[in-house]
A and B are shown apart, each in its own frame.
Chain A
Amino acid sequence: MNRRELLLAASALPLVGLTGAASRAFAQGAPEVVIGVLYAMSGPSAQVGIDARHAFETAAEIINGSFDFDMPTAKAPGLAGLGGAKVRLVYADHQADPQKGRAEAERLITQDKVAALIGCYQSAVSSTVSAVAERYGVPFLCADSSSPSLQRKKLKYFFRPAAQDEMFSAAMFDFFDTQKKKGKKIDSVGLFYEDTIFGVDSSNVQRKLANDRGYKIAADIKYKSNSPSLSAEVQQLKSADPDVLMPSTYTTDAILLVKTMAELGYKPKNLVAQASGFSEQVTYDAVGDKLVGAISRASFSLDLAARRPFIGKVNEMYKARSSRDLNDNSSRELMGLIILADAIDRAKATDGAKIRDALAATDFPGTRTIMPWSRVHFNEEGQNPDASPVLLQYVGGKFVTIFPDDVAIAAPIWPMNG
Chain B
Amino acid sequence: MTAQALIQVLASGLLMGLIYALIAVGLSLIFGLMDVVNFAHGEFLMIAMYATFGLVLWTTLDPIVVAPLVVGLMFCVGAFVYVAVVRYAMRTKANAGMVQIFSTFGLAILIQGAAQYFFTPDYRSIKTSWLGGHTLDLAGIFLPWPQIYGGLISIAAFAALSLISRTDFGKALEATREDQGAVALVGIDRNKVFAIGWGLGAALVGLAGTVLAIFYYIHPQVGATFGTIAYVTVALGGFGSVFGALVAGIIVGLVEAITALILPPTMKAVGIFALYLAVVFFRPSGLFGKL
A residues near B, CB below 8 A? 42-44, 46-47, 49-50, 195, 221-224, 226-229, 231-233, 235-236, 238-239, 251-252, 255-256, 259, 262-265, 282-283, 286-287
Contact = CB atoms under 8 A, between A and B. Distances in A.
13 contacts: A42-B220, A46-B116, A50-B120, A223-B266, A224-B267, A224-B268, A235-B5, A236-B1, A236-B265, A239-B1, A263-B133, A286-B125, A286-B127
Contacts of B269: 224
B187 interface: no
Contacts of B225: 44, 226-228
Contacts of A235: 5, 8-9, 12, 261
A263 B135 contact: yes
A229 B8 CA distance: 14
A358 B137 CA distance: 62
B interface, over-half SS: helix
A232 B142 contact: no
Contacts of A255: 123, 125, 217
Contacts of A49: 121
A69 to B, nearest CB: 29
A42 B265 contact: no
Contacts of B127: 286
A234 to B, nearest CB: 9
Given A43-B221, A46-B220, A235-B5, A263 B215 contact: yes
B219 A231 contact: no
A232 B257 CA distance: 6
Contacts of B5: 235-236, 238-239
A60 B32 CA distance: 55
Contacts, number: 119
Contacts of B221: 43-44, 46
A279 B75 CA distance: 39
B266 A222 contact: yes
B277 to A, nearest CB: 18
Contacts of B20: 228
Given A231-B12, A231-B16, A50 B268 contact: no
A interface, over-half SS: helix
A226 to B, nearest CB: 5
Interface residues of B, number: 46
B229 interface: yes
Contacts of A287: 125
Most buried by B among A42, A46, A226, A235: A235
B159 to A, nearest CB: 24
Most buried by B among A222, A223, A229, A282: A229
B216 interface: yes
A251 B219 CA distance: 11
Contacts of A222: 264-266
Interface in B105-153: 112-113, 116, 120-125, 127, 133, 135, 137, 142, 144, 147
A262 B265 CA distance: 20
B2 A228 contact: no
B265 A282 contact: no
Contacts of B12: 229, 231-232, 235, 264
Interface string B214-245: 01110111001110010000000000000000
B260 A232 contact: yes
B46 to A, nearest CB: 12
A226 B229 CA distance: 12
A46 B112 CA distance: 12
B214 to A, nearest CB: 10
Interface string B1-26: 11001001100110010001000000
B256 interface: yes
A229 B11 CA distance: 13
Given A232-B12, A256-B217, A264-B8, A224 B121 contact: no
Given A236-B5, A265-B135, A265-B137, 8 more contacts: A46-B121, A46-B221, A222-B266, A231-B12, A251-B123, A259-B215, A263-B142, A282-B122
